[in-house]
């Protein structure tokens, strides 16, 4: 089996799928099936790549057959193929969730039939960023996923989405501009943009030049990863998007930024000159992010703040810069992609069932929908780092790495990580006690839906609600007769369940996964496997 032939497929397949989905715009059912099949196929290919790369080490493909430092390289090493697999698994779950929602609401007739092709482009962009072997291809990957995300963010064009979308687009474009400027400067200084070539040539530059380029890249990636002083755009823009879109953004987009930071720190500038800065930034991200979460009264906004806060843990692992720290960061990225996405999916279900996502208006969902309560409880405890779960294991690894580093700042960071973890538990427990535990009558301003619907022995499956869309008049026109939609479509619940189970599986299979993370971390810190794989000039 030739691995090299498989490496470009995770990018190419979603592109083809997107084209197919565009063709099928008028056939919503076929469109849904085509895009689900595409992502499933991509996932299968990536699992194969991961299995082949696991022991063999990094594999490079030189597109167009140009000799190593000149052509465009795509590189799959353990880290990137692991992220590819997890990100595709999560994308598949979210796509099924969105398809379930679309099938239930029959919104394919509306303007959102563009959702599927755009979503597949987003997946292609994420894969391209993970596989990119040169800096400019990384930029192109970022732009593909960002441009797709602009469209998804403003889907439907309501006032709040346009407002949130504006902030998001402007901030993202500025960060891309910074990235482009740093590419220009790096090219000016070294005459190359191939990552492996840069890893050799950057070291020859004067330290001052290196620091400038390093800082530029860190700022550009820091905006994308939502690291503390650069994170204010995220909680403002994510919550307004449709539930599946927020879920996939939360899982993938910031992690691509973290991925780029990891590559910068390990491959391009391995000296660790800014580890102290990164540690301080990680501490602030963790603590200030979670303080924001505690203050929120809306579930989606609260989750957006926890997302920011937990990015801090990953930066912590990168900043500690020993094998254990980096391995724990990789493990944490995988855990967080899965768990944060499932929480956002559950938040979407809560909003559907309860009619709102405001903590001031919800109540009594544990009684009305026990399944939803379980679906929320498991990832919430997982995120807070309660012992058996993968969140605990990842945090444990980070804390051990911090203690092993042994500097005073590392100890402060360990304390900060524990504090942020406790506050996450507080924020999660607040949602639990308000949304699920109290009776709806106790809410400050209870949602009428919750007071009106008594618990029903037939369960949630058969519950239907009146179509409430403001844009659709149910009594006349082409929507006549379609007045009811299911409140909790099975496909949405099953896809959420699938991701929650994946989160549990990360706990069960934590040992081999952590071993793989250590493997990936060692390979990245050693640097030579990656560099030789690219520069030795494999078959085109």
- Quickly count helices (H) and strands (E) in the chain: 23, 4
Say how far apart CA 84 and CA 391 lie, in whole Å. 20
The residue (of 142 and 316) whose beta carbon lies closer to other proteins is: 142
Interacting stretch for other proteins, rule CB under 8 A, among 3-11, 433-441, 501-509, 519-527? 433-441
Nearest approach in angstroms of CB 471 to other proteins is 13
Tell which one of 78, 296, 340, 390 touches other proteins (CB under 8 A). Answer: 296
- For residue 264, the 8-state DSSP code is I
Alpha carbon of 281 to those of 258, 261, 276, 321: distances in Å? Answer: 13, 13, 9, 15
Tell which one of 5, 19, 67, 162 touches other proteins (CB under 8 A). Answer: 162
Looking up tokens 């944060």 gives 340
Residues in the chain: 540
Residues near 23 by beta carbon (within 8 Å), at least 6 away in sequence:
none
For β-strands 484-486 and 464-466, DSSP reports them as antiparallel
Site for other proteins in 230-259 (CB under 8 A): 236, 239
The residue (of 195 and 399) whose beta carbon lies closer to other proteins is: 195
Q: Does 177 bind other proteins (CB under 8 A)?
A: yes
Task: Tell me the two tokens of residue 110.
Answer: 């509306």
Nearest approach in angstroms of CB 169 to other proteins is 6
Q: What is the DSSP string of 306-322?
A: HHHHHHHHHHHHHHH-S
Looking up tokens 């193929």 gives 81
Tell which one of 40, 167, 322, 418 touches other proteins (CB under 8 A). Answer: 167
Whether 519 contacts 82, CB under 8 Å: no
**What 3-state class would DSSP assign to 415?**
helix
Alpha carbon of 344 to those of 145, 196, 317, 349, 397: distances in Å? Answer: 20, 37, 24, 9, 25
Q: Does 208 bind other proteins (CB under 8 A)?
A: no
Say how far apart CA 147 and CA 7 lie, in whole Å. 23
Interacting stretch for other proteins, rule CB under 8 A, among 76-84, 103-111, 183-191, 250-258? 183-191
The residue (of 165 and 385) whose beta carbon lies closer to other proteins is: 165
Say how far apart CA 14 and CA 450 lie, in whole Å. 41
The residue (of 35 and 172) whose beta carbon lies closer to other proteins is: 172
Q: Does 298 bind other proteins (CB under 8 A)?
A: yes
The residue (of 137 and 523) whose beta carbon lies closer to other proteins is: 137
C-alpha radius of gyration, the chain, whole number: 23
Neighbours of 370 (CB within 10 A): 14
Say how far apart CA 511 and CA 371 lie, in whole Å. 29
Q: Does 154 bind other proteins (CB under 8 A)?
A: yes
Tell which one of 5, 23, 56, 166 touches other proteins (CB under 8 A). Answer: 166
Q: Does 180 bind other proteins (CB under 8 A)?
A: yes
Give the rounded distance of the alpha carbon of 185 from its chain centre: 29
Beta strands in 72-182 (DSSP E): 72-76
Q: How many residues bind other proteins (CB under 8 A)?
A: 44
Q: Does 484 bind other proteins (CB under 8 A)?
A: no
Neighbours of 441 (CB within 10 A): 10
The residue (of 444 and 484) whose beta carbon lies closer to other proteins is: 444
Site for other proteins in 88-147 (CB under 8 A): 136, 140, 143, 147
The residue (of 297 and 322) whose beta carbon lies closer to other proteins is: 297
Alpha carbon of 364 to those of 281, 371, 455: distances in Å? Answer: 39, 13, 10
Interacting stretch for other proteins, rule CB under 8 A, among 52-60, 95-103, 391-399, 441-449? 441-449
The residue (of 74 and 183) whose beta carbon lies closer to other proteins is: 183
The residue (of 66 and 411) whose beta carbon lies closer to other proteins is: 66
Q: Does 49 bind other proteins (CB under 8 A)?
A: no
The residue (of 298 and 460) whose beta carbon lies closer to other proteins is: 298
The residue (of 358 and 517) whose beta carbon lies closer to other proteins is: 358
Q: Does 19 bind other proteins (CB under 8 A)?
A: no
Say how far apart CA 53 and CA 210 lie, in whole Å. 32
Q: Does 422 bind other proteins (CB under 8 A)?
A: no
Q: Which residues bind other proteins (CB under 8 A)?
A: 136, 140, 143, 147, 150-151, 154, 157-159, 162-167, 169-170, 173-174, 176-177, 180-181, 183-185, 187-188, 193, 236, 239, 295-298, 301, 430, 434, 438-439, 441-442, 444
């Amino acid at each position: 089996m030739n691995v090299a032939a498989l490496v470009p497929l995770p990018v190419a397949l979603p592109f083809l799928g997107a084209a197919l989905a565009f063709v099928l715009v008028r056939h919503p059912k076929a469109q849904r099936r085509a895009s689900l099949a595409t992502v499933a196929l991509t996932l299968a290919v990536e699992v194969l790549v991961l299995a082949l790369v696991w022991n063999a080490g990094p594999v490079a493909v030189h597109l167009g057959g140009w000799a190593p430092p000149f052509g465009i390289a795509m590189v799959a090493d353990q880290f990137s193929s692991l992220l590819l697999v997890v990100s595709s698994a999560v994308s598949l779950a979210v796509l099924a969730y969105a398809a379930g929602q679309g099938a239930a609401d029959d919104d394919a007739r509306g303007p959102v039939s563009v959702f599927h092709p755009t979503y597949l482009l987003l997946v292609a962009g994420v894969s391209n960023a993970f596989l990119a072997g040169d800096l400019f291809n990384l930029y192109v990957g970022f732009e593909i996923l960002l441009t797709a995300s602009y469209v998804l963010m403003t889907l439907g064009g309501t006032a709040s989405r346009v407002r949130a979308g504006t902030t998001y687009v402007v901030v993202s474009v500025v960060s891309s501009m910074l990235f482009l400027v740093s590419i220009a400067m790096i090219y000016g200084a070294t005459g190359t943009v191939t990552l492996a070539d840069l890893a050799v040539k950057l070291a020859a530059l004067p330290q001052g030049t290196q620091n400038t380029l390093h800082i530029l890249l860190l700022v550009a990636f820091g905006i994308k990863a939502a690291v503390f002083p650069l994170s204010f755009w995220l909680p403002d823009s994510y919550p307004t998007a449709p539930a599946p879109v927020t879920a996939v953004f939360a899982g993938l987009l910031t992690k691509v930024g973290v991925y780029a930071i990891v590559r910068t720190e390990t491959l391009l500038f391995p000296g660790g000159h800014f580890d102290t800065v990164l540690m301080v930034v990680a501490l602030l991200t963790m603590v200030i992010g979670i303080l924001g979460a505690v203050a929120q009264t809306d579930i989606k906004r609260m989750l957006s703040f926890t997302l920011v806060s937990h990015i801090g843990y990953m930066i912590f692992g990168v900043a500690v810069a020993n094998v254990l720290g980096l391995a724990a960061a990789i493990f944490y990225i995988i855990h967080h992609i899965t768990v944060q996405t499932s929480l956002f999916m559950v938040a979407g279900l809560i909003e559907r069932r309860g009619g709102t996502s405001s903590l001031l208006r919800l109540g009594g969902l544990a009684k009305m929908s026990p399944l939803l309560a379980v679906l929320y409880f498991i990832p919430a405890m997982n995120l807070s780092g309660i012992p058996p779960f993968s969140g605990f294991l990842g945090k444990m690894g980070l804390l051990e790495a911090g203690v092993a580093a042994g500097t005073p700042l590392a100890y402060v960071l360990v304390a900060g990580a524990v504090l942020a973890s406790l506050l996450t538990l507080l924020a999660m427990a607040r949602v639990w006690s308000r949304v699920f535990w109290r009776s709806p009558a106790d809410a400050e301003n209870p949602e009428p839906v919750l007071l009106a619907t008594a618990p029903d022995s037939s369960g949630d499956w058969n519950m239907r609600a009146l179509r409430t869309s403001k844009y659709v008049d149910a009594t006349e026109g082409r929507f006549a007769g379609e007045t009811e939609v299911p409140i909790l479509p099975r496909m949405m619940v099953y896809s959420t369940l699938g991701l929650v189970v994946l989160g549990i599986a990360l706990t069960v299979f934590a040992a081999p996964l952590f071993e793989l993370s250590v493997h990936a971390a060692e390979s990245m810190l050693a640097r030579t496997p990656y560099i030789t794989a690219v520069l030795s000039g494999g078959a085109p």
